[in-house]
Amino acid sequence: MERKEKFIQDEFYHIYNRGVEKRIIFQNTSDYKRFMALLYLANSDQIVEFRNNSYGNSLDEIFKQNRGEQLVAIGAYCLMPNHFHLLLTPLVDGGISKFMLKLQTGYSMYFNKKNERVGALFQGVFKSEHINDDRYLQYLYAYIHLNPAKLKNSNWKTQSRSFLNQLKKFIVEYPYSSLQEYLSLGYKIINPKLFPVDEEDITNYNTVVNDFSEENKK
């Protein structure tokens, strides 16, 4: 079925999907690392033979592999137990659709084989939202990187200042989001140069948490 959304180069898109029936799609550390490896390897104009890649290697070893020309630039990502968020801009015609097909197919094949299951893993192809102004783009960076806060408390925005201080530590140490790459300046999966957002605004997580918190608005 043809997508209604047309992905245009130099435009920005929030891409997200969740497990079918809201099922857990990342069961352990190995699952998260496999998806992160695929975020890198599937972002290529070359055919990726997933079975020939040694995922026993560390992510650092995988990130050294030559993958050819990239299909998309990734500005941000966050992996949660039953869903994921990506911030993308296409680098080639059809780049987002090609990348997402390789990413989700590769992960679904791995997950189904590991868990001896068949059938769809994700809810449809994927969801997308066009980002039409810089202010909303900056908001999405914060939204994506703050997603792990829900793991601590789904109502975290209304919690006390002492809780929020603990939450800031949790968010900055969360290993499955691109905030780690921004803080370390170790860009492996992401390519921030193509996104018109000040990196200091992205890494200033203290301000971001406070801005989203209702407690700090009292």
Is 75 in contact with 181 (CB distance < 8 Å)? no
Maximum CA extent, the chain:
56
- Residue 20 within a domain: yes
**Residue range(s) defining the domain that contains residue 168:** 134-175+193-217
* Shared domain check, 121 and 40: yes
Q: Can you give the pLDDT at residue 6?
A: 84
Q: Is residue 119 located within the same domain as residue 59?
A: yes
Closest CA to 37 of 188, 211, 216: 188
Q: Verify that 145 and 199 share a domain, yes or no.
A: yes
Q: Are 141 and 76 in contact (CB under 8 A)?
A: yes
> Which CATH number belongs to the domain containing residue 79 in this structure?
3.30.70.1290
Question: What's the CA gap between 145 and 203, in Å, rounded?
Answer: 10
What's the total number of domains in the chain? 2
Return the pLDDT at 212. 86
In a domain, 188, yes or no: no
Which pLDDT value is given to residue 206? 85
6 within a domain of the structure (yes/no): no
Residue 218, CB half-sphere, CA atoms under 13 Å: how many?
8
Q: What is the pLDDT of residues 55-80, one digit of tens each?
A: 556 888 888 888 889 999 999 999 99
Residues with pLDDT less than 70, the chain: 1-4, 49-57, 214-218
Q: Are residues 36 and 97 in the same domain?
A: yes
Question: Ramachandran region of residue 12, left (φ > 0), alpha (ψ -120 to 50) or beta?
Answer: beta
